[in-house]
């Protein structure tokens, strides 16, 4: 049984002008997501700027989100690290706080071998009992989990249940699902590939787009789950210009600008991320209007 099916939002973390987490606005953003049909919340991932949080701050945000959602939809905590011991400790805390699952990115910078990846993810799986979704994003980590490695982990550990695939390599993804024999819950990690990923057996998406368009992203996934790929494809095509604008600079720079455009006090980004370039912001604003998210 998948942790969730449909659109899970990789939720942004609002900050105050002094750099502290804006918990009041975070609560408002969580409610906006639930009210508009988001199927799960993924907290403290890339979009949530977890890389610039202290471990205490990171887990305070996770705990707040879990308590605010209060089991209305699943909450999946980003607890990955390039240090295996840190990933284990964060994952244990997430389980203690009541997370429905954890999302574990491949160890970045270290560039582990496939054997190293197996040992890394196995250490976390041995330490917790809640479900684990692996996160494969080689463009950010410099490290690719090969299909055979994913299948081995999912078959050997009952709590390693799936993968967020942001490889952009549909051939690799298709091969992985071909050899998986149904043991992998697959989620698209790219908003422009929801329909292709779901067409090869995906359960949904872990989405940046959902921050500003939760209902529309949910609907793309639901059409796929209903077998109506023609309608899903049409919705996906309609969203592509906005998705392109949301990734015109490194995530989450554009999406925090987009949240401000629709009335959320998303606040500043933490260095080394900087505010969106004016020419890119103008394009984003235009695409937000075209998509019907603002006047």
The reply to whether 135 belongs to the active site is yes
Pick the catalytic residue from 5, 63, 68, 135: 135
Q: At residue 163, what are phi and psi to the nearest 5 degrees? A: -150, 140
Q: What is the DSSP string of 214-281?
A: HHHHHHHHHHHHTT-HHHHHHHHHHHHHHHHHHTSSSTTHHHHHHHHHTT----PPPTT--PPPHHHH
pLDDT at 295: 80
pLDDT at 282: 98
Measure Cα distances from 18 to 48, 81, 239 in Å: 17, 26, 34
Asked whether the beta carbons of 193 and 168 are under 8 A apart, the reply is yes
Residues in the chain: 295
- If one counts every other C-beta atom within 10 angstroms of the C-beta of residue 54, the result is 8
The reply to whether 97 belongs to the active site is no
Measure Cα distances from 221 to 19, 123, 163 in Å: 35, 32, 16
> Which pLDDT tens digit goes with each residue over 56-67?
999 999 999 999
* Per-chain mean pLDDT for the chain: 97
pLDDT at 285 over 80: yes
> Which pLDDT tens digit goes with each residue over 111-137?
899 999 999 999 999 999 999 999 999
- The residues with which 42 forms a beta bridge, in sequence order, are 10, 76
pLDDT at 268 over 90: yes
pLDDT at 1 over 80: no
When pLDDT is averaged across residues 175-181 and rounded to a whole number, the result is 97
pLDDT at 211 over 90: yes
pLDDT at 273: 97
Q: Which of the residue ranges 7-11, 107-111, 193-197, 212-216 would you say has the lowest mean pLDDT?
A: 107-111
- Say what percent of the chain tops pLDDT 90: 99
Q: At residue 249, what are phi and psi to the nearest 5 degrees? A: -135, 170
Could you tell me the domains of the chain? 6-290 (3.20.20.70)
Pick the catalytic residue from 5, 152, 164, 256: 164
pLDDT at 128: 98
């Amino acid at each position: 049984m998948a942790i969730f099916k449909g659109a899970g939002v990789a939720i942004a973390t609002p900050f105050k002008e002094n750099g502290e987490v804006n918990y009041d606005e975070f609560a408002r953003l969580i409610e906006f997501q639930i009210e508009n049909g988001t199927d799960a919340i993924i907290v403290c991932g890339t979009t949530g700027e977890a890389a610039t949080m202290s471990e205490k701050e990171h887990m305070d945000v996770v705990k707040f989100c879990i308590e605010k959602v209060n089991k209305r939809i699943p909450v999946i905590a980003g607890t990955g690290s390039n240090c295996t011991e840190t990933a284990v400790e964060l994952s244990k805390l997430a389980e203690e706080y009541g997370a429905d699952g954890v999302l574990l990115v491949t160890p970045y910078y270290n560039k582990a071998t496939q054997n190293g990846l197996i040992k890394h993810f196995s250490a976390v799986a041995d330490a917790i009992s809640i479900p684990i979704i692996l996160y494969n994003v080689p463009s950010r980590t410099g490290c690719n989990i090969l299909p055979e490695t994913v299948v081995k982990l999912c078959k050997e550990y009952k709590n390693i249940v799936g993968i967020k695939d942001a490889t952009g390599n549909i051939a690799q993804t298709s091969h992985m699902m071909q050899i998986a024999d149904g043991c992998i819950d697959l989620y698209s990690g790219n908003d422009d590939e929801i329909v292709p990923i779901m067409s090869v057996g995906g359960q949904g998406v872990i989405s940046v787009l959902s921050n500003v368009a939760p209902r529309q992203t949910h609907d793309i996934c639901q059409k796929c789950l209903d077998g109506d790929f023609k309608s899903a494809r049409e919705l996906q095509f309609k969203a592509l210009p906005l998705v392109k604008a949301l990734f015109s600079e490194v995530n989450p720079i554009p999406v925090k600008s987009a949240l401000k455009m629709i009335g959320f006090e998303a606040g500043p980004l933490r260095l080394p991320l900087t505010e969106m370039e004016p020419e890119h912001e103008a394009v984003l604003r235009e695409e937000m209007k075209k998509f019907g998210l603002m006047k």
